[in-house]
Structure 1
Amino acid sequence: MKLLYHFLVLSCIPLCINAQDSTKTATVVKKRIYTTKPLNGAEAPTIDGIIDEASWNLVEWTGDFVENEPDENTPPSQQTKFKIVYDQKYLYVAYRCYDNEPNKIEKRLSRRDGFAGDWVEINLDTYHDKRTGFSFTITAAGVKGDEFISRNGNNWDGSWNPIWYTATNIDDEGWTAEVKIPLSQVKFGKSKEQIWGLQVNRRFFRNEERSVWQRIPQDAPGWVSEFGELHGLIDIEPQKQLEIQPFGVIQFDTFPEEEGNPFRDGDEFKLNGGLDAKIGITNDLTLDLTVNPDFGQVEADPAAIALDGFQIFFREQRPFFVENKNIFDYRFANGQDNVFYSRRIGRSPQGSITELDGEFVDRPTNTTMLGAAKFSGKTKDGWSIGILESVTEREIAKIQDEDGNEREAVVEPLTNYFVARAQKDFNERNTYIGGIFTATNRNLGDAFEIDSDNPDTDETSELVGTRENNLYALRKSAYSGGLDFRHNWKDRKYYIEGNMVLSHVEGSKEAIEATQRELTHNFQRPDAGHVEVDPNRTSLTGTGGKITGGKSGGGRWRYNAGIFWRSPELELNDIGFLRQADEIRQFANVRYLFLKPTKFYRRANIFAEQFSTFDFDGNYNRIQYFIRGEINYMNNWWTEAGFGHKPRIFSNTILQGGPRWRFSEENFAFLFFGSDRRKKFNFTLGYDGSRAKQNNFSFNRYVVRLRYQPINALSISLNPQFRQNPNKTQYVTEVDFNGTPRYITANIDQQTLSASIRLNYNINPNLTIQYYGEPFISRGRYKDFNFVNNPVAEDLNERVTLYDQDQISFLDDVYSVDEDRNGIVDYTIDNPDFAFVQFRSNLVLRWEYIPGSEIFLVWSQGVTGSGDPGEHLFRSLNNQILDQQPENTFLIKATYRFVL
């Protein structure tokens, strides 16, 4: 209770400091209304970019745009106007974007959602919920952009790809555009007259200026909530969407041939096919189906290596899961922690295989998705609903010896994943409450049951036993549920929000013991007074949650404060993402905005943060202070800088099952600056780094980002990074010394070099060539081995004890330690030096030959190897990438979208 009291006091500091800001008079902006009219039998406009059809004369132009950025509420450099008409199937929009120098209109081509050059967009809040909307953008070059807006403009999801039609034209007055949006592609409720939120936003590229139809003050609490209104939509019928998209894939793989390995003979040919479908159950709610999905055109994940033992988070890129992902989002604490992490579905098989001498293994790289269904949408009554069901196949690895004898091992069981999410708006859309439920069930079957009375006996079928493939450690089932809410008041300027999560996992004694010992939980920590490993448990139940509140709009100040927690037993990683449990965190943030541009800058802000953490044993583990500033100059160059201080750093995980560990006091800072991103050549240079007391550890990262667009159709970017991570106490391993655990650390010199390369060439807005490649090299050399003496000592020299030359020797890639100097080796340490080298690339030709139907030609290439840690980074690049035969995948994928 005392701990909670301190949290609440610290969390209220920003609220008290800035209370005077709430007394200022809020800016009142009159809502604009545009009234459209139906075509009523008139001939529909021809979408050619030239606004000359008689049907456009049914309505008046509306204009009088006002500048939004950089100088809000001033006349824009160039005016804009638009018209809207409709029929029972389509909404039609005409734009006139004036420009007194039409020869300077920027017509840069890009891939879809590239938003390059001059553009104009319409935002439609069809539910009029003041939080979500649909955005349709058209550039002067004719490139489409479409996004689903959520969280009142704080999230723009470009994965949404509806079917719609557009064309542009440049004339003596500037440029024009015509747009035809099928009503089946947007969602709205059934009523006599629709009232939608409406905003039109234009980018005037030369001045990097935004102008809007409905004024939105810079201190507004959001974007969608400030829209004007579209009236006049009378008796339009909600359109039930029905789209079927079959696909076929031809794939040819080549890889280095391995002599004697029947599974690696040099090449492989595959044929595949499947089906995606989108069915409008109502106009509000859509059922998405996928059968045997293929994601061959998806860009490869960036390379990464983690020495701390934690899992690495990768963003979702598969189209089925990306679309409408905002509905399923349930970030309950901070960072990437989420109750639903779709990358768990189709993950690499989790079972390992024990190979015998002379055996070869054909192991699946990913788990096959047999099918998935997703029911999602939002009703006019304010219900957001999402239900996802997916089944992944049982995966079997094939093993064959030199004599041709074969056996099999299950490396992933048949698994069912289920997610249900709902939210309800009320209180004039100022409040919502919601909930989520997830379930993961694995069909482990008899082949995976362990005889608890005789644990040395594996009860197996014809497949390899459970202890050989480690599937006995998988949990049989996992469930989680949560409730969340948010309440806004005073025109959405103030808010309070919170959520709670409950998790429950079940499995064999072995599975639950393995869960307790995972780095996420660390129940085996010898100094933990609140948890311990119980080998007889068959389930775990934990909780997590957050409560925060603050000011999100009005005036120059923004602030929030709150607490979140994750109990030691919380487990979400069957279908969610949880990096670490057993933490309570208090946080407080404050931001000051410079809203009015000057002759020096266009916009700027300063941000300050403080947080502290505790574990459920009452240990005070960390406190951190951080301040950051950002400025965008009048010439559109920019600078970001920040500084932080960590006077107290304790970790329950750094020794990976060992006791609580103290790091030395740390300072960190970063500085990034860059040129005008509108220019055909622009750059970013940056540095971020940290230093710890007594030179315990340090971090240096040097960043260069170069982008060049020599012609409107071609853009090239190169992003090299170099990182240095020296650390005197990098964890190596745990060994036994006369019945006492010894935690070994060492001085590591780690260097990492990577360089992502992107090339986009647009033949036209619907035919693009995209290339992505990234070489990645990380090398670590260890020296000055030591063992942990007093893990929580403030002085580094008391924390660890270095081995002297009489205690440690190195031979045949093994360190031998005679700790007590009696001439007998007490324990050995495998050489931890490493050099990881990888190159991945994708070359994709994408042709949208008709709206919604595509052909992909893909060439993917990959090389992964281990270099010599003693060599220079660039020599490893040459030896392990340039001189190695890569693995190649060539595929052709064709889709056709039937709209019924």
Structure 2
Amino acid sequence: MFPHRTHTTTLALLVLGGGAAPLLAQSSARAQTAQTTAAAAHIAARPQARVVPLASPVVLDGKLDDAAWASAPVATGFTQQDPNEGKPATQRTEVRFAYDAEALYIGARMYDTLGAAGVRSRLVRRDQNVESDYIQFVFDTFHDHAGRTIFQVNPAGVKYDAGQATPSADPSWDPVWKAATHVDSLGWTAEMRIPFSQLRFSRDTTQVWGMQVWRYVQRLNETSMWSFWGKNDSGGPAFFGHLEGMALGHRPRALEILPYTLARASYVAPTQPGSPFQDRRAYHASMGADVKALLTSTLTLDATLNPDFGQVEVDPAQVNLSDSESYFDERRPFFVEGSGLFSFGGLNCFTCSDVSGMSLFYSRRIGRHPQGGLPGDPRYSDVPDNTHILGAAKVTGRVRRGWEIGVLDAVTSAEDAGLVYADDSRLTREVEPLTNYFVGRVRRTLHAGDANVGAMVTSVGRRFGYDSLALQLPAHAEAAGVDWVWTWQKRAYELRGNFALSQVSGDSAAILRLQRSSVRYFQRPDRGNGSNGFFSDAYDPGLTALRGYGGYLRMAKQAGSWLWESQVNYRSPGFEVNDLAFLSQSDYVWTQGNIRRRWTTPTRYYRYFQFTTGAQRQFNYDGAVTSTQVHGSVYAQLRNYWELSLYGQHRPEVAADRLTRGGPSVRRAGLNFVQASVNTDSRKRFVFGTSPWTERTADGARSYGLNADLRMKPASNVSVSFGPSFDHAENRSQFV
């Protein structure tokens, strides 16, 4: 975007752009092969449902009285997963499917032996926990045994959706679709219309989708499914049934342009009386546009020019007294949509603490609060709240069997702060430079969804208008990584991992700030003497680049009655990705192992019971043990659907290398921690839960607390919660 942009970004664009052309050319020819291969790799014989062309128009009123439904085949034969695993559902469910050139239509009849009196419904916001009956459809639209796209509705018409055709369905995805419901003497019915424009799939062949249908009957706490798998199975798209029969022609390319103009007026009393930068009256006007284009049947371009996110929900207020940065979720629509494709790595565990997964892309870095410091002690200052995004664009989708790609590029403007000092002198200082952000992501599904491998590259390039800002921020930051998942024996076993490299470069003063930051504390006086070879591991004020690596590896058995896991997570001292990702700590190696036994067959005492025990340990690259933990827990769901749990943890004395925030390591006393919890049946009108805990350290400090929660549901659209808590904390280790 500007002359000194890094070679890493340019190379990534060439690789992704050049590689996409032959893949696009082959995507149509390979689509049928992909579906044939996936069909042959099912774990067991799966049920099939057929979708037929829409014979006549459907009025979406939820009543299923349109003539079109009479000619649509019925899919039924649901099986319980709860409470009586493997037995036929006690309440019959029938679903029908039809389609036209624009949309998929679903008609569902949920019978209830008590008629309308048996239907439980609640009116809540979209995508919230409904705590009522519902019908849910999950589609694997590419039939690669990897993707999930979810549509759900309850008897009140409350919709839930998540997607889009990725292994981890993203609940922040909000497609445009319609649903209508109706309660009658037989139970309740639902009609749904899902436009094909909201879905991603291969559009130039006869369709075969993977599909699962779930039904929940709240009064019986019964969960049934169309294509059955047991609680001890790994489950997922490899166990889905098939939706067959759609023959859709190639969809023509589409272009949507949404221009906008914005005018804003504010009348607020100044927060700095006398400031020349504030007025009781302020006016603002801007304009921009959003663009969406369908490049191919499976690739989408999204772009935004001069976006305004003023209507996005604000972050919750926090008081952060720790040495780590606060993490906030992304809420801006442009970055939320399709964000699942840009996820990287991940970390799974039965029970673990004080650990986080690998992050290479945290979209909140784009448009962040200006980072530059202010010189001196100004009396008044005018600093922008956020960096302005000049424009951003991304291409996401699939280009051939098993291949997904995502490319994102964004440019943010230089931001200036106005300053007035005590002697009335004025100064304008740049607090954020002109910056370009790039992310490239590829991921491929292998062996009919049993494995996948991916890669990601990121780059940040800055153009400084003032030398002082170059002393505070790196000029360039690059990262690259690979991640993978491999499963075998009907997905009962898993090998998951990732590995990444990072480099930041710039003025030695900017790199020194990174060395002294709370992420690594290179200046600790008792830190070992590293070599500062290719990877940075020693304090050196003259460094102009910081390089590091990080990774994660987990092997686990995740199906059956006995489960186990063993994993390692590590970040080298010089690993640094905070220019476009989120990293709170480097210089550690974390190891962990757990064993779990679960009983899924109900008895006279419980419906479900599990026991977990394990341990974890963390040490830094000097070899000092900084955390050790042995833990155990039990969980039970009783016959009356109450839930009980007990968790215990023992931590011996270790060396704390971060407690003094760059000073020497200190002794951290060992401790014992116990927590119990009781929760009543969540279906009832009154629900109560409590969770007492206690902790005692080896130096005699004792802490304890009690959390309680009472929920009352006086009506189907009203829920009142009351949650008092009490905590008493002692800490006899103090640092002055």
Tell me the TM-score range normalised by the shorter chain: 0.7 to 0.9
Q: Secondary structure at the match of 2:188?
A: strand
Asked if 1:388 is matched to 2:408, the reply is: yes
The 1:268–1:671 alpha-carbon spacing in structure 2 relative to 1, beyond 3 Å, is farther
C-alpha separation in 1, matches of 2:279 and 2:702: 46
Matched AA of 1:660: S
The 1:243–1:625 alpha-carbon spacing in structure 2 relative to 1, beyond 3 Å, is farther
Offset, 1:701: 4.7
The 1:279–1:149 alpha-carbon spacing in structure 2 relative to 1, beyond 3 Å, is closer
Q: Secondary structure at the match of 1:534?
A: coil
Give the stretch that moved more between structures: 117-126 or 589-598.
589-598
8 A Cα contact 2:166 2:341, kept in partner: no
Q: Which residue of structure 2 lines up, in the alignment, with residue 223 of structure 1?
A: 236
Asked if 1:43 is matched to 2:38, the reply is: no
C-alpha separation in 1, matches of 2:307 and 2:100: 36
Q: Which residue of structure 2 lines up, in the alignment, with residue 68 of structure 1?
A: 81
8 A Cα contact 1:521 1:568, kept in partner: yes
Superposition pairs for residues 805-844 of structure 1, below 5 Å? none
Q: Secondary structure at the match of 2:733?
A: strand
The 1:240–1:704 alpha-carbon spacing in structure 2 relative to 1, beyond 3 Å, is farther
What's the % identity of the aligned pairs?
A: 34
The 1:413–1:726 alpha-carbon spacing in structure 2 relative to 1, beyond 3 Å, is farther
Offset, 1:259: 2.9
C-alpha separation in 1, matches of 2:422 and 2:258: 45
- Show CA shifts across 1:288-308 (max 9, x none): 222233333433333434444
Match for residue 105 of structure 1 among 114, 119, 139: 119
Q: Which residue of structure 2 lines up, in the alignment, with residue 441 of structure 1?
A: 461
The 1:275–1:609 alpha-carbon spacing in structure 2 relative to 1, beyond 3 Å, is farther
Q: Secondary structure at the match of 1:298?
A: coil
8 A Cα contact 1:626 1:644, kept in partner: yes
8 A Cα contact 1:184 1:240, kept in partner: no
8 A Cα contact 1:346 1:369, kept in partner: yes
Q: Which residue of structure 1 lines up, in the alignment, with residue 172 of structure 2?
A: 159
The 1:257–1:508 alpha-carbon spacing in structure 2 relative to 1, beyond 3 Å, is closer
8 A Cα contact 1:183 1:239, kept in partner: no
Q: Which residue of structure 1 lines up, in the alignment, with residue 733 of structure 2?
A: 729
The 1:392–1:28 alpha-carbon spacing in structure 2 relative to 1, beyond 3 Å, is closer
Q: Which residue of structure 1 lines up, in the alignment, with residue 33 of structure 2?
A: none
The 1:599–1:320 alpha-carbon spacing in structure 2 relative to 1, beyond 3 Å, is farther
8 A Cα contact 2:645 2:677, kept in partner: yes
Matched AA of 1:350: Q
C-alpha separation in 2, matches of 1:730 and 1:595: 47
C-alpha separation in 1, matches of 2:456 and 2:212: 32
Q: Which residue of structure 1 lines up, in the alignment, with residue 28 of structure 2?
A: none
8 A Cα contact 1:276 1:288, kept in partner: yes
8 A Cα contact 1:257 1:265, kept in partner: no
C-alpha separation in 2, matches of 1:149 and 1:66: 27
Matched AA of 1:341: Y
Matched AA of 2:445: D
Give the stretch that moved more between structures: 430-439 or 273-282.
273-282
Q: Which residue of structure 2 lines up, in the alignment, with residue 316 of structure 1?
A: 330
Superposition pairs for residues 21-36 of structure 1, below 5 Å? 30-36=45-51
Q: Secondary structure at the match of 2:174?
A: coil
Offset, 1:625: 0.9
8 A Cα contact 1:332 1:501, kept in partner: no
Asked if 1:53 is matched to 2:66, the reply is: yes
- Show CA shifts across 1:799-845 (max 9, x none): xxxxxxxxxxxxxxxxxxxxxxxxxxxxxxxxxxxxxxxxxxxxxxx
Q: Which residue of structure 2 lines up, in the alignment, with residue 339 of structure 1?
A: 360
Give the stretch that moved more between structures: 136-145 or 393-402.
393-402
C-alpha separation in 2, matches of 1:700 and 1:355: 45
- Show CA shifts across 1:346-385 (max 9, x none): 221112224546x311221222222221221234501121
8 A Cα contact 2:267 2:281, kept in partner: yes
TM-score calculated relative to the size of structure 2:
0.87
8 A Cα contact 1:411 1:471, kept in partner: no
The 1:317–1:593 alpha-carbon spacing in structure 2 relative to 1, beyond 3 Å, is farther
Q: Secondary structure at the match of 2:448?
A: coil
Offset, 1:270: 3.6
Offset, 1:128: 1.0
8 A Cα contact 1:184 1:283, kept in partner: no
Which has a greater percent of strand? 1
Aligned Cα root-mean-square deviation (Å): 2.4
8 A Cα contact 1:592 1:606, kept in partner: yes
Q: Which residue of structure 1 lines up, in the alignment, with residue 39 of structure 2?
A: none
Matched AA of 1:32: P
Offset, 1:118: 1.7
The 1:569–1:690 alpha-carbon spacing in structure 2 relative to 1, beyond 3 Å, is same
Match for residue 597 of structure 1 among 597, 602, 627: 602
Matched AA of 2:436: N
C-alpha separation in 1, matches of 2:522 and 2:231: 49
8 A Cα contact 2:50 2:73, kept in partner: no
Q: Secondary structure at the match of 2:515?
A: helix
C-alpha separation in 2, matches of 1:650 and 1:149: 45
Offset, 1:179: 0.9
Asked if 1:168 is matched to 2:181, the reply is: yes
Give the stretch that moved more between structures: 242-251 or 622-631.
242-251
Q: Which residue of structure 2 lines up, in the alignment, with residue 816 of structure 1?
A: none
The 1:74–1:242 alpha-carbon spacing in structure 2 relative to 1, beyond 3 Å, is farther
Q: Secondary structure at the match of 2:449?
A: coil
- Show CA shifts across 1:663-698 (max 9, x none): 011112222222222334433322344321113x55
Q: Which residue of structure 2 lines up, in the alignment, with residue 128 of structure 1?
A: 143
Q: Which residue of structure 1 lines up, in the alignment, with residue 224 of structure 2?
A: 211
Q: Which residue of structure 2 lines up, in the alignment, with residue 349 of structure 1?
A: 370
TM-score calculated relative to the size of structure 1:
0.72
Q: Which residue of structure 2 lines up, in the alignment, with residue 261 of structure 1?
A: 275
Q: Secondary structure at the match of 1:347?
A: coil
C-alpha separation in 2, matches of 1:337 and 1:267: 46
Equivalences, count: 678
- Show CA shifts across 1:251-303 (max 9, x none): 43635554322334445444445433332222222222222333334333334
Offset, 1:567: 0.6
The 1:236–1:368 alpha-carbon spacing in structure 2 relative to 1, beyond 3 Å, is same
Match for residue 145 of structure 1 among 147, 152, 160: 160
The 1:709–1:124 alpha-carbon spacing in structure 2 relative to 1, beyond 3 Å, is same
Q: Give the unaligned 5+ runs of structure 2.
A: 1-41, 348-354, 531-537
Offset, 1:37: 1.9
Q: Which residue of structure 2 lines up, in the alignment, with residue 366 of structure 1?
A: 386
8 A Cα contact 1:257 1:266, kept in partner: no
C-alpha separation in 1, matches of 2:138 and 2:253: 22
Superposition pairs for residues 164-313 of structure 1, below 5 Å? 164-238=177-251, 240=253, 242-247=255-260, 249=262, 251=264, 252=266, 254-255=268-269, 257-266=271-280, 268-313=282-327
C-alpha separation in 1, matches of 2:124 and 2:688: 19
Offset, 1:495: 1.5
Superposition pairs for residues 425-824 of structure 1, below 5 Å? 425-445=445-465, 447-448=466-467, 466=468, 472-531=471-530, 532-553=538-559, 555-695=560-700, 699-731=703-735, 744=736
8 A Cα contact 1:631 1:640, kept in partner: yes
C-alpha separation in 2, matches of 1:266 and 1:707: 44
Matched AA of 1:132: G
8 A Cα contact 2:673 2:696, kept in partner: yes
8 A Cα contact 2:151 2:160, kept in partner: yes
Q: Which residue of structure 2 lines up, in the alignment, with residue 118 of structure 1?
A: 133
C-alpha separation in 1, matches of 2:451 and 2:384: 47
Match for residue 81 of structure 1 among 71, 79, 94: 94
- Show CA shifts across 1:136-178 (max 9, x none): 11111112111117775xx442111111122111121111111
Q: Secondary structure at the match of 1:691?
A: strand
8 A Cα contact 2:345 2:497, kept in partner: no
